[in-house]
Amino acid sequence: MIKIINKKGEGIMQYSIAWIFVALFIVAIIGFAIGFANDNNSPVNIADDPELMDTYEQVTGNLSNFQPNTVAFLNSTLSSSISPSAASGTTTTAGQYSIGLTDLINVAKNTISIGYKEIFGEDNSFAIFLTTFLSVIAFIFGYYIFKAWIGRTPD
Amino acid sequence: MVESYLYNVPNATGGIDAIAKQTLTAVPSFTPLLLLFVFLLVFIGGSTRQKAKEGRSDFPLWSVIGSISALLISLLMSTITGIIQLQYLIITVVVTIFCGTWFFLDRKPSEI
């Protein structure tokens, strides 16, 4: 794993987001299979398997933790400060990079919610998708703000 | 005698689900082999055609498409009693998840 993510931190965002999408994929596949079985009163339902349901609930819990962790990461990056001597040519804080960030995330939220409500309705079981996807955007912004501010990728 | 290895021809008037049930009675491994066939058909067929047209194959992508194809067929089978067992449905879901993991970890590296 150390060889995959090298010393400069390259690939951190790639592998982090890859695993997030793996988790979303698991939730989507299992959630769809359960919904399909319930809608059609299927005699064979994967919800009858306790081990798969445990995995489903655990992965959903992991995804729900991702959103507050991302918010904390983004806020700490924006509120932190460095001495200008530590990296010459940079500003003390990263506040100037956050301009427009909230607006961009809201645009993404409004865009997704158009199709989301039409496809999934008001059902909250798939709401983890919207939350996690917006958190991924914030996560990407956090890394790029760090790189634009400090001039290198996070270690 | 060769005829002793054959089974009675299914009664087609009952619909395709009745044919599947009667086939399953004679050959219990019919369902998993059918799902394996669908997966390999899409996986090998898709990747081979892509290799022929573009010179390279995206194996993770075709594995995801193949496994989702098999999953959709297994979900359709699950609506009828006796065609697919729960463990085969779970194995199909797990294979789909593994193929998805392979797919997402195989994407190109980002800048950061």
At A96 the pLDDT is 77
Residue B69 domain-assigned?
yes
pLDDT class for B1, splitting at 50, 70, 90?
low
Residue B110 domain-assigned?
no
Q: Please indicate whether residue A99 or residue B45 has the higher confidence score (pLDDT).
A: B45
ipTM, two decimals, is 0.85
Compute the nearest-CA separation of B38 from chain A (Å). 18
Residue B104 to residue A25, Cβ atoms within 8 A: yes
Taking the Cβ of residue B8 and every Cβ of chain A, the question of whether any pair is shorter than 8 Å is answered with no
pLDDT class for B94, splitting at 50, 70, 90?
very high
- What pTM does this model have? 0.81
Residues 20 through 79 of chain B touching chain A, CB cutoff 8 Å: 71, 75, 77-79
Taking the Cβ of residue B86 and every Cβ of chain A, the question of whether any pair is shorter than 8 Å is answered with yes
What is the mean predicted confidence (pLDDT) over A30-55? 91
Query: Do B40 and B14 form a contact (C-beta atoms < 8 A)?
Result: no
Report the distance separating Cα A77 and Cα A96, nearest Å.
12
Residue A10 to residue B112, Cβ atoms within 8 A: yes
Residue B63 domain-assigned?
yes
Domains in chain B, number? 1
List the single residue in B with minimal CA-CA distance to A42.
B79
| Closest CB to A25 among B85, B90, B97 | B97
Report the distance separating Cα B57 and Cα B50, nearest Å.
6
From residue B64, how far is each of A19, A67, B21, B97, B102 by CA, in Å? 16, 27, 28, 8, 9
Q: How many CB atoms lie within 10 A of CB A138?
A: 19
Q: Is the pLDDT of residue A1 over 50?
A: no
